[in-house]
Structure 1
């Protein structure tokens, strides 16, 4: 019995030693990075029967100076449609899901966007690119940062130029030219 007790104690010590935090750094030798240029249109519906934007939180601002219907610190959920063209009947190639936060209480509308652009057709089916950037909506052409991706866009970086193609009270169609560097 005494021998069994010692065997169990030694075994417990070996288990605790083997379960210690472990890390190993290996040299990183990737293949040549690829550069992919994407061109597509984002269709965003602010209202109607199938809106793609929903307000999920809004600050309780009581200032009389704030006459905006969408005040500072409003948070939106997004599920916009990606298409090959600006027309309603253009081919759907994916969707852009994410969050937007109104970050400026000024005369300009500055938004902070996190979007994951997921593709559902073609050679990038099942892949996505992630963008996280400030989006000053009063500027004609905005630049957004590509900060990551998955699938064929794993370890992506790059930038997107976003330009409003058309805009009204219910719909925004934006043209995107995206340069993605990935492995």
Structure 2
């Protein structure tokens, strides 16, 4: 059974409604280069709140160090090492022993950013290598006052399953060897993500 032909008015109304629907689905342009987006188009569903715990192994000693000093300030300019910078590729493990299950790597750098106290600027990605988060990263950027019992730094983003991540980490020194600089730090990560 054939339907009645569509009139020019009906076609115009249908075109207008389809155009309007596309604007709502794709977003509206603002200032010519920005548009609001529907998060469902990116596969973003309900936001989750997760807690992860890692043990971060910063190793300067031995034949396979995971932390390297890349900038050392002149001895006469600083009493506490202000200006020193280290690059890291530190294991993140399930337990405090280096032999425990590898969960990921902390990759980035830190620098002694205070002239008067042990305060580091930390810039690192936690690259996860286990489970459903394998290949995803969390980005941490913040101030780490290393002699405080618990230090808090922000999670400023992520990739993979951590897109649009935000939150914070608590870092607590588990073990530190002043003779060689090796440290094990417990990181508790509290993060909102999709």
| Among candidates 81, 93, 104, match of residue 94 of structure 1 | 104
Q: Which has the higher contact order (CA 8 A, sep 6+)?
A: 1
Q: Report the count of equivalent residues.
A: 158
Give the CA RMSD over aligned residues: 1.8
Q: Does 1:165 align with 2:174?
A: yes
Query: Counterparts of 1:121 and 1:27 in 2: how far apart (Å)?
Result: 31
Q: Deviations over 1:60-117 (max 9, x none)?
A: 3634xx444xx211111111100000113200111000011111111x2010000100
Q: Secondary structure of 1:62's partner?
A: helix
Residue equivalent to 2:145: 136
Gaps of 5+ in 2: 1-31
Larger Rg: 2
Residue equivalent to 1:78: 88
Gaps of 5+ in 1: 1-21
Compared CA separation, residues 24 and 67, structure 1 to 2 (3 A)? closer
Residue 36 (structure 1) shift: 1.1
With the length of structure 2 as denominator, give the TM-score of the two structures. Answer: 0.76
Q: Does 1:127 align with 2:136?
A: yes
Query: Counterparts of 2:100 and 2:125 in 1: how far apart (Å)?
Result: 21
| Runs of 4+, deviation exceeding 6 Å | none
Q: Secondary structure of 2:35's partner?
A: coil
Q: Deviations over 1:128-169 (max 9, x none)?
A: 100000000010100111000000001100001110111113
Residue equivalent to 2:126: 117
With the length of structure 1 as denominator, give the TM-score of the two structures. Answer: 0.80
Query: Counterparts of 1:92 and 1:124 in 2: how far apart (Å)?
Result: 13
